[in-house]
Amino acid sequence: MSDRLPADVAWRKHPPHRLIGRGHPAGDFLAAYDWEVLEESPGRLRMTAHVPDHVRNPRGQLFGGFTATYVDLAALFTYRAGERMDDGPRPWLATQSMRIEYLAPVTEQRIEIASEVTARRGRTAWITTRFLDPAGETLVLATTVLRASE
């Protein structure tokens, strides 16, 4: 297996204001091809994401285990925010750790996700991700540590 993400994978092709195309296993499960980018700059990303019924618990809330998948995808895309997707192969990113604080249940059909790189040391980056309700209150607060391959 290569330590580089190939440039020609189908999900790297996406319409404007979207992060990902179809064909990514976790992305398709979360309907990430439908997430809308509201703001993007190097190390910062703000988007809206759909919360499909199949990721909700019986009370209609985002199931905690799937929250981590949203956080992981948001962190991976925030690490590369502001970069062009078609610039050829890029290093793989590995999640080294993730901490999630559940402040309130996620019940909305669409949520806002705000994420930023808070520190970089060599190939390692710390990323903070927040899920926000329509009033801008934080529902979920997460910190992810990612490491890029050489």
- For 23-70, what is each residue's pLDDT tens digit? 666 666 777 778 888 999 999 999 999 999 999 999 999 999 999 999
Query: DSSP E strands: which ranges in 33-86?
Result: 36-41, 44-50
Both tokens assigned to 30: 């979360």
pLDDT of residue 99 exceeding 60: yes
What is the model's pLDDT at position 3? 55
- Verdict on whether the full-model pTM lies above 0.85: no
Cβ–Cβ under 8 Å, residues 19 and 77: yes
pLDDT of residue 15 exceeding 60: no
pLDDT of residue 97 exceeding 70: yes
CATH number attached to the domain at 4-148: 3.10.129.10
Give, as one character, the DSSP assignment of residue 56. B
